[in-house]
Amino acid sequence: MFLIFWTRFKRKLSAVLQGGDPASVEELQVGQHAEPWTGCQFHETDANDGNMWRIEDQRKLSRAFRIQNDQHHQFVGKRGNHMGKPSIATQQITPVLKVSDVSKSIDFYVDVLGFSTEFTFGDDYAGVKMGDLIIHLNAAPASSDRIGKGSVYIFCRDGVDEYYRMVVDNGVDISSDPPKEYEYGMKDFRLSDPDGNWLTFGQEVG
């Protein structure tokens, strides 16, 4: 059922991004980009950077989700009361990974994976950045059972194969097969940070 839903949604999403009628598009068309890969995208970025989602594309993406929601769902309260659309103004989502040592984790993400340090807050909290993607790192007590149990899927425009070769050369623990195409329409691979948190880098295939 999920694959059927995802296929239908991708068709509607493609139509919205192309300015057309969601119901009229049969297949998702993936654009070709001549520029080299420069990172992965979660948040807003410069509209002139063709490698990442343009701000206008993100607005269309938001419209696509609204269309899907309006056609198939209503927001329902805990007791089943129809509440209409929630009034909260959400902006973005940021993964927070539990680690044993923030300083050592920063070294890994920056020196090995190619992130940069976005901020630090004391000794137990920090943010690392790649392109417009930001991941937060939070130190947990040694006795905690949550360290290393995080998982993040990072959607990229392209460059997954090249990035895979780079991290392998840097000695990263790869916890999956090399990048390959899967039936869900993505080419991806998964790596582990020193605490065991999973990061999967994937790009859509045509």
Domain check: are 109 and 68 in the same one? no
Domain check: are 110 and 170 in the same one? yes
CATH of residue 110 = 3.10.180.10
Q: Which residues contact 171 (CB under 8 A, 6 or more apart)?
A: 112
Residue 67 placed within a domain? yes
Q: What is the pLDDT of residue 5?
A: 54
Domain check: are 200 and 133 in the same one? yes
| Residue numbers of the domain that contains 67 | 2-72
Q: What is the pLDDT of residue 49?
A: 47
Tell me the pLDDT tens digit for each residue of 18-60: 555 544 444 433 343 334 444 554 443 444 444 444 455 555 5
Domain check: are 184 and 118 in the same one? yes
If 0-12 CB within 10 Å is exposed, 13-18 middle and 19+ buried, where does residue 9 land?
Answer: middle
Residue 18 placed within a domain? yes
Residue 48 burial (CB count, 10 A): 6
User: Residue 65 pLDDT more than 60?
Assistant: no
Considering its fold, how many domains does the chain have in total? 2
Domain check: are 66 and 128 in the same one? no
Q: What is the pLDDT of residue 87?
A: 86
Domain check: are 106 and 184 in the same one? yes
Q: What is the pLDDT of residue 38?
A: 47
pTM of the model: 0.62
- When pLDDT is cut at 50, 70 and 90, the band that residue 142 belongs to is confident
Q: What is the pLDDT of residue 26?
A: 41
Q: What is the pLDDT of residue 11?
A: 62
**Range 152-179 average pLDDT:** 96
User: Residue 166 pLDDT more than 90?
Assistant: yes
Q: What is the pLDDT of residue 56?
A: 54
- When pLDDT is cut at 50, 70 and 90, the band that residue 85 belongs to is confident
Residue 178 placed within a domain? yes
Handedness of CA 167, 29, 184, 146 (dihedral sign): positive
| Cα distance between residue 139 and residue 102, in whole Å | 6
Domain check: are 101 and 55 in the same one? no
Residue 84 placed within a domain? no
| Letter string b/e over residues 110-137, b meaning 16 or more CB atoms within 10 A of that residue's CB | eebbebeeeeeeeeeebbbbbbbbbbbb
